[in-house]
Structure 1
Amino acid sequence: MASWREVTESAPEFAGKVRELMDAHKHKTIATLRRDGSPRISGIEADFVGDELWFGSMPGALKALDLRRDPRFALHSASVAPPDDPSAWPGDAKFSGHAIEVTDRAELEAMFQARGLDAAQFADSHFFRADIHEVVLTRVAGDHLDIDLWRADQGLRRFERK
């Protein structure tokens, strides 16, 4: 698994495109695992702070309880409807990995400060840092999809799908 910094260092152009898609919209979608193993899809805000990808939730939110029990997650950027010209679609980005809950007040204070937030507003909220397994960038290219896949143990690879 890896930090966002490791992704940016090993594949900077790819990471720039992924970050652009993630930063384009405030809300993303996260998949977590319920107690019975079935998937749960939830809206979430995720932000790059320094060298890490962070996300959080309101106190007692089911997605946070899911992540505390089983840290596996998948995170998807907001997708926009493809325009009439599919090649103009900006694409979408996906992450998978493990969520690491951060409870250290000093680390949280630094994250809040970097984001320009008042820590007091989030006293009981849950915050997680992503330990990234893979990042996927999907775009339309002519008559096929270009799928760029980055994995911590394999680096960046490209696939085409018709």
Structure 2
Amino acid sequence: MTHTTSNWAALVAAEPDLAKIVEERFAAFTHHVVATLRKDGSPRTSGLEVRFLHGELWLGMMPDSLKALDLRRDPRFALQANPGSGTGPAGGDVRIAGRAVEIHDSAEKARYTEEVEPPEPFHLFRTELTEVVRTYVEDDTYLVVEIWKPGVPVRTLRRT
């Protein structure tokens, strides 16, 4: 099955309110959780820092980290914003799925390091989004799930 992908700027243009909430959720904490696929296809979860810069969502990683090697082999990932402590984060639970494209171009990496100072050397991946999901509780009554996929308006589901 083929998935349509978009970069972060496409989500911002299509659904600015959702994009703002997602960015705020990721900005609330430094470390988040990424799921990648191991050689045998089983999932691997790892800690990760992310950045929203220049209309892109970036994933930076230490050299030859297992998650970077996983993404080189199979670019699919799922990213979970740190939920923090307590019963539910302000803004809800946020997840992003997509494909990671490794950046080898030195000029593009230099543009990234103008604003972020990663330890050298590092792997840098630009993301192609296939899905963004926000889940939250509304009025202490409804579980609300907002789902965005490239080229499709946000779909909102409510459960009691």
TM-score normalised by structure 2 residue count: 0.91
Question: In structure 1, what is the Cα distance between the partners aligned to 2:86 and 2:147?
Answer: 21
Out of 10, 29, 43, the residue aligned to residue 14 of structure 2 is 10
Question: In structure 2, what is the Cα distance between the partners aligned to 1:61 and 1:161?
Answer: 40
| Match of residue 63 from structure 2 | 59
| Match of residue 143 from structure 2 | 145
| Match of residue 128 from structure 1 | 125
Shift of 1:80: 2.2
Paired residues of 2:36 and 2:43 also in contact (CA < 8 A): yes
TM-score normalised by structure 1 residue count: 0.90
For structure 1, the 5+ residue unaligned runs are none
Structure with greater helix percent: 1
Shift of 1:36: 0.2
Question: In structure 2, what is the Cα distance between the partners aligned to 1:5 and 1:36?
Answer: 33
Paired residues of 1:82 and 1:89 also in contact (CA < 8 A): no
> Aligned residue pairs: how many?
155
| Match of residue 100 from structure 2 | 99
| Match of residue 39 from structure 2 | 35
How far does the alpha carbon of each residue in 1:27-61 deviate from its partner, in whole angstroms, 9 at most, with x for none?
01000000000000000001101100001111110
RMSD: 1.5
Report the secondary structure of 2:115's partner residue: helix
For structure 2, the 5+ residue unaligned runs are none
Paired residues of 1:46 and 1:55 also in contact (CA < 8 A): yes
Question: Are 1:22 and 2:20 matched, yes or no?
Answer: no
Shift of 1:89: 4.1
Q: Stretches of 4+ moved more than 4 A in 1?
A: none
Report the secondary structure of 1:96's partner residue: strand
